[in-house]
C-alpha cells in the first residue's frame, strides 16, 4: 500500500524550506481532503483558516513559543472549533442534507431534534472538549493528504490559544483555535527527517479479542 510508505515518509517537520510554496492545485486537494473528513453527525462544527500572509505568520510565531515552522512553512492551517452550540448550525446541516439528498426537510426534522437534544445535554466542559475533538479528525485528514502529495506538515498544539484567538479575531466570530498545522516543504537542514520513527510495537498497541 503506497499510503503506508507515504506515512513512513511523513514526520513532524521542525524546519521548513521558507523559499518553497505549495502550488494552488495541491492546496485545493488538501482543502478537499479536509472537507471530506468525518465528523460527529456530519456537522463539521469548525472553520479552517489557511494563512499565507507573512506579517500574520510572524505575529503567530510569537504566540507559538517562537517555533520556526510558523514563519517558514508555506501555509498555516488553523483548525477552529465553534465555542457556542447553536441550533442554527444543526438547522443548516438538516437543510443541506435535504437539498443534497433530495429528501423533504420535514422527514429529517426528528433527526435534527435528536442532535439538538444530545448536544444540549452536554455540560459546558464536555461540549468544549467534544467541539475541539472534531477538529482533530480534520487535522488527521490533512496530515495524511499531505503525505500522499509529498507535502510536509507539523501538527501543533504548542501555541497560546488566547493569543491566537486575539490575533486572528476569532472571539468575535465565536471561534477558538484548537490545533494548527503549518504545511510546506522540509529543509535539507532539518535533521529530524533522518531520525527513525518511535512507535509502540503492534503487540502492545493492539489487542485482538
Ligand X SMILES: Cc1cc2nc3c(=O)[nH]c(=O)nc-3n(C[C@H](O)[C@H](O)[C@H](O)COP(=O)(O)O)c2cc1C
List residues binding ligand X (CB under 6 A). Answer: 11-12, 14, 67, 154-158, 179, 197
Cell numbers 501543533: residue: 156
Alpha-carbon gap, residue 95 to 88, rounded angstroms: 10
CB of 41 to ligand X, least distance (A): 23
Alpha-carbon gap, residue 113 to 119, rounded angstroms: 10
Residue 49 or 108 with smaller CB distance to ligand X: 49
Residue 105 or 128 with smaller CB distance to ligand X: 128
Is the distance from CB of 34 to CB of 27 less than 8 angstroms? no
Quick one: which of 135, 120, 42, 36 has its CA closest to 80? 135
* CA dihedral sign of residues 48, 135, 22, 157: positive
CB of 64 to ligand X, least distance (A): 7
Residue 100 or 202 with smaller CB distance to ligand X: 202
Residue 82 or 159 with smaller CB distance to ligand X: 159
Residue number closest to ligand X, CB atom: 158
CB of 136 to ligand X, least distance (A): 7
Amino acid at each position: 500500500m503506497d499510503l503506508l510508505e507515504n506515512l513512513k515518509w511523513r514526520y513532524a517537520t521542525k524546519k521548513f524550506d521558507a523559499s518553497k510554496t505549495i502550488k494552488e492545485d495541491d492546496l485545493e486537494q488538501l482543502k478537499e481532503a479536509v472537507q471530506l473528513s468525518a465528523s460527529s453527525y456530519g456537522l463539521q462544527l469548525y472553520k479552517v483558516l489557511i494563512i499565507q500572509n507573512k506579517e500574520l505568520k510572524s505575529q503567530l510565531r510569537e504566540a507559538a513559543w517562537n517555533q520556526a515552522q510558523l514563519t517558514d512553512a508555506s501555509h498555516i492551517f488553523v483548525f477552529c472549533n465553534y465555542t457556542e452550540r447553536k441550533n442554527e448550525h444543526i438547522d443548516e446541516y438538516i437543510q443541506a442534507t435535504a437539498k443534497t439528498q433530495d429528501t423533504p426537510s420535514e422527514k429529517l426534522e426528528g433527526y435534527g431534534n435528536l442532535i439538538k437534544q444530545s448536544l444540549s445535554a452536554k455540560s459546558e466542559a464536555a461540549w468544549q472538549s467534544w467541539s475541539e475533538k472534531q477538529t482533530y479528525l480534520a487535522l488527521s485528514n490533512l496530515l495524511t493528504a499531505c503525505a500522499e502529495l509529498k507535502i510536509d506538515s507539523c501538527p501543533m498544539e504548542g501555541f497560546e490559544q488566547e493569543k491566537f484567538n486575539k490575533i486572528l479575531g476569532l472571539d468575535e466570530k465565536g471561534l477558538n483555535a484548537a490545533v494548527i498545522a503549518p504545511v510546506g516543504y522540509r529543509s535539507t537542514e532539518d535533521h529530524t527527517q533522518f531520525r527513525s520513527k518511535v512507535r509502540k510495537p503492534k503487540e502492545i498497541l493492539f489487542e485482538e479479542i
